[in-house]
Amino acid sequence: MRPILMKGHERPLTFLKYNRDGDLLFSCAKDHTPTVWYADNGDRLGTYRGHNGAVWSCDVSRHSTRLITGSADQTAKLWDVKTGKELFTFRFDAPARSVDLAIGDHLAVITTDSFMGNMPTAQVKRIAEDLQEQTEESALVISGITGRINRAVWGPGNRTIITAGEDATIRIWDSETGKLLKESDKEVGHQKAISSLSKSLDWSHFLTGSLDKSAKLWDARTLTLIKTYVTERPVNAVDISPTLDHVVIGGGQDAMNVTMTDRRAGKFEAKFFHKILEEEIGGVKGHFGPINALAFNPDGRSFSSGGEDGYVRLHHFDPEYFNIKMLQLRDLPSTPERT
């Protein structure tokens, strides 16, 4: 599985996102300039220029017409995917970190960091079809969380918002009223900051990664812990395969702790686990720094990783990869037949 190396960013990667069709890959980095690539061959298609700070995350509309980005420059921006034109800017009193579009693309949830006395928030913005009607007004503001909110995403049917971050707690909120509905159990939940959160294709469950060197699979409605995947290094990025019972987990040392380490010493490897069995089934090395972003292509036939080294690595799976599931199941002890 030879990777395609994509060098278009001058600073560490922060986030990767495929469009629904899987033909475009969007990358965010600390260099202020979100970039779009062809997901098949890794050719750079274009950039989105206008931010003045690190870009922490992005999301793309269902039909790949609009892109939304969240940045340390205290704004979130809407872009025309095809032309790269900046369409609208949401301004905040603090850095904008996580962005996520709801089903239907008429709503977005955007988180802001604690900054200059402002507490972290998750804010819902209405996204107008007609830009002339677009406003900066928030339809809902969720507050009261201590510690940075690293991810906020929509739950099943847009009925809830799921947040996770520095305080190691996952919370589910009513997206209409902002009422707190559920919190993760501190006994079974993460013990250190949650760095990443990724939803399953059907939005029924989601995966979180934490600096406590684990990733956990949760039910999106009940917040029941389903599975735990244990690694030997802090987890910065996670994703769930859309086609197989696999999850991918990446990380490494914190950026501030990376000095003169080689790739192996830094544990800069994307590791694959069987989603049901919780067993490690393989790994992909290559990055010269911690892995900060991971994403499966929606067709399940490739994945991308983004690193502290400024590279995006695009991997098309070999045919052998699709047989891993069969081998795993074949090795399980057979269940005796009932008589």
Could you read off the pLDDT of 83-132 as tens digits, one per residue?
999 999 999 999 999 999 999 999 999 999 998 888 999 999 999 999 99
Domain positions in the chain: 13-240
| Residue 83, C-beta contacts closer than 8 angstroms, at least 6 positions apart | none
Counts for the chain of helices (H) and strands (E), in that order? 1, 28
Q: Please determine, for residue 256, whether its predicted confidence score (pLDDT) is greater than 70.
A: no
Q: How confident is the model at residue 268 (pLDDT cuts 50, 70, 90)?
A: confident
Q: When comparing pLDDT for 52 and 333, which is higher?
A: 52
Distance of CA 204 to the CA centre of its chain: 16
Q: To the nearest whole percent, how much of the chain has pLDDT over 90? A: 86
| Phi-psi region at 295: left, alpha or beta (left = phi > 0; alpha = psi -120 to 50) | beta
Read off the pLDDT of residues 204-255 as tens digits, 9 standing for 90 and up: 999 999 999 999 999 999 999 999 999 999 999 999 999 999 999 999 875 5
Which CATH class name applies to 13-240?
A: mainly beta
Read off the pLDDT of residues 50-97 as tens digits, 9 standing for 90 and up: 999 999 999 999 999 999 999 999 999 999 999 999 999 999 999 999
- Mean pLDDT (whole number) for 140-146: 95
Indicate the pairing of strand 35-38 with strand 44-47.
antiparallel
Read off the pLDDT of residues 30-60 as tens digits, 9 standing for 90 and up: 999 999 999 999 999 999 999 999 999 999 9
What does pTM read for this prediction?
0.92
Read off the pLDDT of residues 271-294 as tens digits, 9 standing for 90 and up: 999 999 999 999 999 898 999 999
Q: How confident is the model at residue 338 (pLDDT cuts 50, 70, 90)?
A: very low
